[in-house]
Structure 1
């Protein structure tokens, strides 16, 4: 594919303080063995892109360790491949970037030197499995300046405030764009992914430099909706937006539905790739009892796990009971402990006989390396 991929790793880190306090949003574990970065990366690779850059903001060590050279996505190449941009200052731009445009200003030289005709922009907090070839074909057919990918979804007021909503005319052209509104009902929800010609993106960045614009959604999409040809491409597959601990928990639990799990991980567009760990198979003791759960490799299960997601390297002690919970990598749940509606971060340790009870609409969170 003749397209350059650009992934923003931390566009909404401020809304996920529990999960992103010590790591990039892109490095948040999801689905038992994946990280959020795996989804946009896999989408681009499955669509034929072989030149992808990731723009980081802060706490990017675990992200760099996970992505490495990109070989697990077939991106370890002499030409093209993957490139990670840590934050750095360019000219008058100092400190951490304050929006997508501000981030793009700092990699303008890289974009300008690229030979690809198109650019695909994507955040990491939207999970889907999409074929960008179809989006680019649609982009060409509409002679569009910007093609925004969206899906139809029903929102509540508390779930709309981190989203971009679109209204389209009969031709499919955007005639109104709402950025982070408070609303409810059925809407066209943007997936924070856009396609445009590289030359057009460069002109946007130069204009942003001249006018000191920083925010792509407000200063370009919403402000110029009537002057630019912005069209929408509808996506109809599995979609999840991770913008809070509650949405992380809810969307993770959705994966226990086999139909939704298959529509994400086994879609015709291609598989979701992740870093190969070469872990040993999970060991189940004779007293282990596992129901309707995702259990990654490298675990030791000696207790009961129901309706839960257990990541790699987790140990569940004898007679421990875990229900409706998410146990991130290398956690330890002691003997006779009871957990319900709990999210434990990496290397969390729950002592023997502890009882931790959360609620499905308010899960209890245990920080990484905590001892409870």
Structure 2
């Protein structure tokens, strides 16, 4: 896998997550008590033996750079290879920020051309799964494929399908049709927004995109050329989550309270999920603390009741406070006697004493970063 280059897009669907991505990139959205979304594609690549990875950013990338740093927590702090974060920049006068994956790849064409790797893995940051790309590349070679798309069988409805890419394959596994953001329902071949291809083939796609002013990889390459290039699908069968809205963030976070899901994602045989190491103290559970079926990270102080919730690092739950079915991100403070149900509280949120905030599982209440309630 030393001959494989990894490219991660940090903000492909930031427009659909305005609450969570208003002040950070999609890749930096906290998840699961101590992780960020970038941790999953990064860990997948590192566990597969890849040691040269670049992250293409678009906006609000400060917290992403702080989290990734030199890449040492993923063993990517190296003299050769390692991780490189590309800040957004225009190609020339009159050209703004990129619009779509293909347009983003144009901006880093020099980097791709200078790389000596044979294969390239493209991945978004808003898909959560645990995979070994060695198997995908082996499949890519066996099929002599131009593009190998990773997909999974997943039930959709007409609301969840509009942010998905859906594939239809023939008996040999070659794509016969590709639907981009369709309105569709039923169990479908849902793309994980991850593709493998030879580097030379990717370069030819980028040069062609420059010549014809193509910008969108899904429409201008996959859907429009499904019959002219060899696109094969590699099926992934493990846990999968797509964070494409506030509701999907809440639903998929709550899935982690299922021990089977937790084991499947974080303790898979393909390897662990790495994140930035923080030397926090253990969580303190004081005399009246009651915690049930919850994920609680380190550095917290809990005096109240926590049920069916995800509590990030350095959160304080006051005396007699009750937090149920909620997500409290790092450095949040819940005052004494407060009651929360179905709440997503962003970082540094403060809920004062005696406040009652009740959302619904089908419509969680969101508290912005640094807000005081």
State the TM-score bracket (shorter-chain normalisation). over 0.9
Hey, what's the Cα distance between the residues in 2 that align with 1:92 and 1:40? Answer: 33
In the other structure, the counterpart of 1:250 is: 251
- Deviation digits for residues 140-174 of structure 1 (CA, Å, limit 9, x no counterpart): 00000000000000001110000000000000000
Q: Secondary structure at 1:115's aligned position in 2?
A: coil
Structure 1 residues 215 and 348: alpha-carbon distance in aligned structure 2, compared to 1, 3 A threshold: same
Hey, what's the Cα distance between the residues in 2 that align with 1:356 and 1:62? Answer: 28
In the other structure, the counterpart of 1:352 is: 353
In the other structure, the counterpart of 2:311 is: 310
In the other structure, the counterpart of 2:96 is: 95
Q: Does 1:156 align with 2:150?
A: no
Task: Give yes or no for contact 2:90–2:98 (8 Å, CA) kept in 1.
Answer: no
- Deviation digits for residues 162-193 of structure 1 (CA, Å, limit 9, x no counterpart): 00000000000000000001111110000000
Give me the CA root mean square deviation: 0.6
Hey, what's the Cα distance between the residues in 2 that align with 1:325 and 1:364? Answer: 9
Q: Secondary structure at 1:161's aligned position in 2?
A: helix
In the other structure, the counterpart of 2:87 is: 86
In the other structure, the counterpart of 1:259 is: 260
Structure 1 residues 93 and 258: alpha-carbon distance in aligned structure 2, compared to 1, 3 A threshold: farther
Hey, what's the Cα distance between the residues in 2 that align with 1:93 and 1:289? Answer: 58
Shift of 1:93: 6.8
Hey, what's the Cα distance between the residues in 2 that align with 1:26 and 1:296? Answer: 20
Shift of 1:92: 5.9
In the other structure, the counterpart of 2:180 is: 179
Q: Does 1:64 align with 2:65?
A: yes
In the other structure, the counterpart of 1:370 is: 371
Q: State how 1:12-31 maps to structure 2 within 5 Å.
A: 12-31=13-32
Hey, what's the Cα distance between the residues in 1 that align with 2:149 and 2:299? Answer: 40
Shift of 1:94: 2.0
Shift of 1:286: 1.3
In the other structure, the counterpart of 1:340 is: 341
Runs of at least 5 residues in structure 2 that lack an aligned partner in the other structure? none
Hey, what's the Cα distance between the residues in 2 that align with 1:28 and 1:346? Answer: 10
Shift of 1:350: 0.2
Count of residue pairs the alignment pairs up: 372
- Deviation digits for residues 193-237 of structure 1 (CA, Å, limit 9, x no counterpart): 000000000000000000000000000000000001000000000
Shift of 1:96: 1.1
In the other structure, the counterpart of 1:210 is: 211
**What's the TM-score, normalizing by structure 1?**
0.99
In the other structure, the counterpart of 2:271 is: 270
Q: State how 1:47-58 maps to structure 2 within 5 Å.
A: 47-58=48-59
- Deviation digits for residues 236-277 of structure 1 (CA, Å, limit 9, x no counterpart): 000000000000000000000000000000000000000001
- Deviation digits for residues 73-125 of structure 1 (CA, Å, limit 9, x no counterpart): 00000100000000112246722110000000000000000010000000000
**What's the TM-score, normalizing by structure 2?**
0.99
In the other structure, the counterpart of 1:113 is: 114
Q: Secondary structure at 1:290's aligned position in 2?
A: strand
In the other structure, the counterpart of 2:238 is: 237
Runs of at least 5 residues in structure 1 that lack an aligned partner in the other structure? none
